[in-house]
Every structure is written in structure tokens, then in C-alpha cells.
Amino acid sequence: KNEVEQSPQNLTAQEGEFITINCSYSVGISALHWLQQHPGGGIVSLFMLSSGKKKHGRLIATINIQEKHSSLHITASHPRDSAVYICADIPQGGSEKLVFGKGTKLTVNP
Amino acid sequence: DTEVTQTPKHLVMGMTNKKSLKCEQHMGHRAMYWYKQKAKKPPELMFVYSYEKLSINESVPSRFSPECPNSSLLNLHLHALQPEDSALYLCASSQTGTSGRSAVYEQYFGPGTRLTVT
């Protein structure tokens, strides 16, 4: 069964801190999404990656296919980064059906 | 244009009402999705359309009726809903392969419609 686990479930940080959110999955995948959702809001796709590392501004996502693990890093965190971060994988062979983690709620205090 | 738009943003409806949610994208994507999201939960897939044909129905009750009138538009018709159907309804779109499968194409989400059933 394809399961996606995220840790931590909740994370509180001070402005400027380096943040790491982890995602592990149980079966082989084609790719993995990192998504951001602000309170009461829609979902923004931050990254989709199938190998290596991607960077966009202060956000960095890495994936290790062999270890079935991905991380999302936020450098120089800011209160506007406060949101729920969700990882979702695309099963191997390709599929419209994303398998979602339960999300990590990040709060960055000024 | 990498935007998926959804209307209305908020909807309150009674259990006997009929209403529709609308979703639009102009990215040329040929796969479109409806998701339901309850508070503090991840999204749950409801329907997928690929090339304007329904390709996935996740055993959704018939009081939810999707429609894809063209490649840019996706509707969700609502009738005789229950209070437990209150949720955020998200639309998404993605490219898809020529065989109709989405493979590893990135999904782009809309802002959602917050539905309250009274």
C-alpha cells in the first residue's frame, strides 16, 4: 500500500531560522509534489521533482529515490511562510491520483 | 498564464438547493480534477477528466455531478447535498500524455470554493 508520512506534524520557528520538513513514502514513485496551503486558502504547487534537488528563492526541495525520502527546506524563514506544507507522490508508472501526506503546519513567529 | 480560477469563492446552500461550482484554466491542460478537502485533512480526489472524458470517479455520491463542457472548463453540479458535504472544493489541472494518462505532469490548483450546506 502506498503511504506518505510527513514529519513533523507541527513546527514552530522564529523568523530567520532554517526549516526542514521531511516526507517518506513506502513504494516506488514517479515523482513527488511539494504543496503549500495558507489558512483558508487554495493550494500552490511549490515543486515537482523526481530526482536530485530543486531551488526556488528561499525554498529547496531534495529527493532520494533509493531511500524513498524527500525534504523541503526553507532558508531565512519569514512569518509569511506560515502555512501547511503537503507532500504528495505520483505512483510509479504515472497516475492522475496523487497520494497525499497529512501535511506539516508551519508557524513562523516574528 | 499559470492560473486556475474557481467561482464562487464561497457558497452557502440548503439541502434542497441546486448549485454549480465552476473551474477554468487557459494553460492548454487536458486533464482536470475535482478534490474535496475537509478541515485539517489533505485533499481527497473526487473526479478526473482527461480529454473532456471522465476517467476517474472515486465512488462519489450521485448528488455530485461533474461536467467538462470543453477543454478549459470544468463544472461540479450539486443537488440535495448533506451538511457533511460542507468542505473546500478544489479544482486542479495538468498536462496529460497522448494516451490520456497524466504520467508525471505537475498539477496546478485553484483557490477553491468554500461550500457550506445548511
Whether the per-residue pLDDT at B46 is higher than 90: the answer is: yes
Q: What is the pLDDT of residue B96?
A: 79
Classify residue B72 by its DSSP letter: T
Q: How many residues does chain B have?
A: 118
Residue B95 near chain A (CB below 8 Å)? no
Residue B3 near chain A (CB below 8 Å)? no
- Average pLDDT score over residue span A70-74: 98
Q: Give the span between the Cα atoms of B44 and B83, in whole angstroms.
A: 17
Q: Give the span between the Cα atoms of A73 and A78, in whole angstroms.
A: 13
Taking one residue from A and the other from B, the number of pairs with CB-CB distance under 8 angstroms is 61
Interface with B, mutate which of A96, A97, A100, A104 (most B CBs under 10 A): A96
Classify residue B107 by its DSSP letter: P
Contacting residues of A for B101, CB less than 8 Å apart: 94-96
Residue in B82, B68, B64 with CA at minimum distance from that of residue B33: B68
Residue A30 near chain B (CB below 8 Å)? yes
Residue in B51, B39, B52 with CA at minimum distance from that of residue B87: B39
Give first-to-last CA distance, chain B, whole Å: 36
Q: What is the pLDDT of residue A92?
A: 79
Write down the mean pLDDT value for chain B: 91
Whether the per-residue pLDDT at A91 is higher than 70: the answer is: yes
B102 closest CB neighbour out of A40, A50, A94 = A94
Contact B104 A98 (CB under 8 A): no
Q: How far is CA A32 from CA A10, A22, A85, B53, B97, in A?
A: 21, 12, 13, 26, 18
Q: Measured on CA atoms in the order B90, B96, B99, B104, is the torsion positive or negative?
A: negative
- Average pLDDT score over residue span A77-86: 97
- Average pLDDT score over residue span B1-19: 91
Residue A46 near chain B (CB below 8 Å)? no
Q: A21: which strand partners?
A: A72
- Average pLDDT score over residue span A48-72: 95
pLDDT tens track for B59-92: 999 999 999 999 999 999 999 999 999 999 999 9
